[in-house]
Structure 1
Amino acid sequence: MNVWYRWCGLGVMLVLLAGCGGNGNETGEAPDEPEQVAQPSPPAEPEAEVEPFAEPVAIEFAVSLGSDRRLLVEGESNLPDNTRLQVVVERELSGVRWQERTTLTGGRFQAGPFGSGSGLPDGGYTITVNLSEATVQPTDVRARIGERGEHLSGPLVSTSRHGLGQVASDSRRFLIGSEPRRTHDNVEVLGVE
């Protein structure tokens, strides 16, 4: 009897398999519709030529000291929008550094506040705004400044220390304190607002 169940199960499976096959055309004739042949896609339109960045790099920034004694850096640049910049604040006495990445939007950027929760102690600080290497810039920025920054020019431009092309940087010194020290250096003195 066990053999009989096996033959019945095999027969049911064959009927099911036969019902699953086919293309829905019960007469066995070829379908009336012609086969569709893949047509080649039209050639892609050439990308619009991007004008290289041709003017000298300009980076201007201002620093303000808030009531919490932390620095805020705001500035502008003629570099293309979406350019990635890095702002670094370094205390001259100890070498302690704070840094933040920011993006140029509408020709402007902002970074900070910089400093610990208790604020920055009196003393000298160097604030630097760096244009990062072209390899870390978005595609649209690289198209303008060049794959290795070769379209950058001006007094702020130098060769990357890592050999990754040209970069740009601007630095200034600031003194923080309620009683400014006497100095003959080219330095701005910031007071608490």
Structure 2
Amino acid sequence: MLHIDAERVRELRHKTGAGMMNCKKALLESNGNFEEAIKSLREKGQASAHQKINRKTIEGLVNSYIHIGGRIGVLIEVNCETDFVARREEFQELVQDIAMQVAACPDVLYIKSEEIPEDVFLAEKEIESGKDDLNNKPDDIKEKIILGRVEKTLKNLTLLDQPFIKDTNITVDELIKEKISLFGENIRIKRFTRYTLGN
């Protein structure tokens, strides 16, 4: 039987937030392949998170983050289901990480794509439709290109679609789903405000 080093298990737990036994099992199932174990845990975490995504979140934290130099500040509310989870150090770290993410992403205005107003979508579509490189494209191809470009632009405006600043292999959405799996509770970013000095 494959021997899994305890230090390797701890490293995987630190990287993914999954339980020790789940980390050991993932390493055994992947024959010790660290990246495959991470992928497996993330997939299971997202499946677990999907079952909890509609549960009510009435507890949580309001937190602030002031960037070095005091030129950017963020106020954020992140919700969970119970006060017990809200008091956990790991949850508080998550809220702080998300506040730092907001500070690092000046283009982000919305939490998720569903919040983007239709007029913003239509304005972006009009901008893309007027670009010269589309002039000789057939209409159906042109429409696909336009929608692809608009989707890419709008993703830059949404917090959940951003690559996580501490691990760019995952998005903020995937990070939250990992934490839902870890805590066993639904987690939701409720709102945020970014303050930029002089604006």
TM-score (norm 1): 0.19
Name the structure, 1 or 2, with higher relative contact order (CA <8 Å, separation 6+).
2
User: Hey, which of these two has a bigger chunk of strand by percent?
Assistant: 1
Larger Rg: 1
User: Hey, which of these two has a bigger chunk of helix by percent?
Assistant: 2
